[in-house]
């Protein structure tokens, strides 16, 4: 019996609206060490986005390497496989490999090439051993940037060709009794994302979306994916899964269920996939549930329980409906929040007025929150002096949905 923990998208070092999340990550790592001690997996597989930035702070790196040291010290037989994500610097992540490999940790971020310039596919094949025998193989493909994959007409075609060639390379070393585990840090077609969630950095039009068909090889037992923060299976297939992030990365993710996947194999096949839920120490609160005028928002704030702000006080998002410009909004909200045990993260303003809409300077976050249909309706009104016909609104919405 082979067992693995599948996790991803840690985003160590993330700054959440000005708040340091160090203690939240330390809480998760303590929980993960406890789960590892109790359930004794053979492999910990981390599918990318270890850090939130390609240039993580010294403190973030210290947290990461201390965790690796502590979990391997407490579980000497544990094998750890890590791939780089789009937020990571592949070179930085691989730099300490000579030391990490002594701890039975394999990190794959760079796509290496031989003297002829050909991709070294074998470098991405990692044997998984138990009791001195190779019982499985991990096809450890990190996030693929332009130039990482074989020459092709597009990113999608290049990624497909990369995986196809990896499978062919695997057949040279694998026996039928050995399980095959494939990794990826990418977005698959049809995967679920929350509306307005920019933290996963998808490409407009789905230009980087990859079909789950690239994992159709019958020898593949399990596909461990990272990049999307919602835990989910892909294309209705139990053996292709995103583990999700251990902490919500935005308010759009406040209803996600965090955790890790525990996957058990019997020979070359999966026996069970179990979800182990993790409850983050700091919650996310949006108030009110739908945007309201300032006086109504202040009434909602007054209903919050009184108390001091602690490390575990929830982050608060205020949803405000503006009937007209109100320059003193921040003062009124901060004054109302005095003695309330919440951390004010952001105020999201929704406008129901049109004056100077296109002349107003907006923050990037504000711009991303605007519904494209609403922009089109205002532009139509300004251009023609009439409301946009409903059939045009519906047509535009259908095009947006299709994209």
Give residue 190's pLDDT: 83
| Phi and psi, residue 80, nearest 5° | -115, 130
Cβ burial, residue 109 (10 Å; 0-12/13-18/19+) = buried
Give residue 393's pLDDT: 81
| Phi and psi, residue 143, nearest 5° | -60, 130
Q: Is the dihedral of CA 209, 213, 218, 222 positive or negative?
A: positive
Phi-psi region of 26 (alpha: psi -120 to 50; beta: other; left: phi over 0): alpha
From the candidate CATH numbers 2.40.50.100, 2.60.120.260, 3.40.50.2300, 3.60.21.10, the one assigned to the domain spanning 2-277: 3.60.21.10
Give residue 371's pLDDT: 73
Q: Residue-wise pLDDT tens for the chain (403 aa)?
A: 999 999 999 999 999 999 999 999 999 999 999 999 999 999 999 999 999 999 999 999 999 999 999 999 999 999 999 999 999 999 999 999 999 999 999 999 999 999 888 999 999 999 999 989 999 999 999 999 989 999 999 999 999 999 999 999 999 999 999 999 999 999 998 888 765 555 555 544 455 789 999 999 999 999 999 999 999 999 899 999 999 999 999 999 999 999 999 999 999 999 999 999 999 999 999 999 999 999 999 999 999 999 999 999 999 999 999 877 777 888 999 999 999 999 999 988 877 655 555 555 556 555 666 678 878 877 766 555 456 787 788 788 778 766 6
Q: What is the CA radius of gyration of the chain?
A: 24
Largest CA distance in the chain: 77
d(CA 230, CA 225): 11
Give residue 21's pLDDT: 97
Give residue 283's pLDDT: 96
**Residue-wise pLDDT tens digits, 188-207:** 988 887 655 555 555 444 55
User: In this structure, what token pair is assigned to residue 103?
Assistant: 């701890």
Which among 382, 380, 377 has a CA at the least distance from the CA of 359? 382
How many Cβ atoms sit within 10 Å of the Cβ of residue 120? 12
Q: Range(s) for CATH 3.60.21.10 in the chain?
A: 2-277
Exposed e or buried b per residue across 211-221, where buried means at least 16 C-beta atoms within 10 angstroms of its C-beta: ebebbebeebb
The DSSP secondary structure of 197-243, one letter per residue, reads: --TT-PPGGGTTEE-GGGG--TTEEEEEEES-SS-EEETTEEEEEE-
């Amino acid at each position: 019996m082979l067992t693995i923990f599948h996790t991803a998208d840690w985003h160590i070092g993330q700054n959440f609206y000005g708040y340091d999340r160090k203690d939240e990550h330390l809480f998760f790592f303590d929980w993960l060490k406890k789960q590892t001690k109790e359930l004794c997996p053979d492999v910990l597989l981390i599918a990318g986005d270890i850090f939130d930035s390609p240039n993580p702070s010294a403190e973030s790196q210290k947290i990461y390497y201390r965790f690796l040291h502590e979990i391997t010290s407490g579980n000497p037989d544990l094998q750890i496989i890590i791939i780089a994500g789009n937020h990571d610097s592949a070179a930085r992540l691989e730099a300490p490999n000579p030391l990490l490999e002594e701890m039975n940790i394999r990190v794959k971020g760079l796509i290496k090439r031989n003297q002829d310039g050909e991709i070294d596919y074998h470098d991405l094949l990692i044997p998984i051993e138990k009791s001195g025998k190779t019982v499985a193989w991990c096809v450890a493909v990190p996030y693929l940037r332009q130039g990482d994959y074989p020459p092709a007409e597009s990113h999608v075609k290049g990624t497909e060709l990369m995986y196809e060639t990896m499978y062919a390379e695997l057949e040279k070393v694998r026996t039928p009794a050995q399980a095959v585990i494939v990794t990826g840090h990418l977005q698959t077609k049809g995967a679920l994302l929350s509306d307005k969630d920019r933290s996963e950095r998808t490409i407009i039009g789905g230009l980087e979306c990859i079909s789950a068909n690239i994992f159709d090889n019958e020898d593949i037992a399990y596909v461990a994916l990272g990049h999307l923060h919602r835990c989910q299976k892909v294309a209705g297939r139990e053996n292709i899964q995103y583990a999700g992030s251990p902490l919500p990365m935005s308010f759009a993710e406040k209803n996600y269920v965090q955790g890790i996947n525990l996957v058990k194999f019997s020979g070359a096949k999966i026996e069970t996939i179990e979800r182990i839920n993790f409850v983050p120490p700091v919650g996310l609160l949006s108030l009110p549930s739908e945007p309201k005028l300032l006086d109504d928002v202040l009434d909602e704030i007054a209903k919050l329980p009184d108390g001091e702000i602690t490390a575990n006080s929830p982050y608060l998002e205020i949803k405000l409906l503006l009937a007209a410009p109100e320059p003193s909004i921040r003062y009124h909200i901060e004054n109302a929040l005095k003695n309330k045990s919440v951390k004010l993260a952001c105020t999201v303003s929704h406008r129901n007025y049109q004056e100077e809409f296109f002349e107003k300077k907006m923050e990037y976050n504000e711009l991303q929150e605007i519904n494209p249909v609403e922009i089109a309706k205002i532009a139509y009104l300004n251009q023609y002096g009439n409301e946009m016909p409903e059939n045009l609104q519906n047509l535009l919405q259908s095009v947006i949905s299709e994209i």
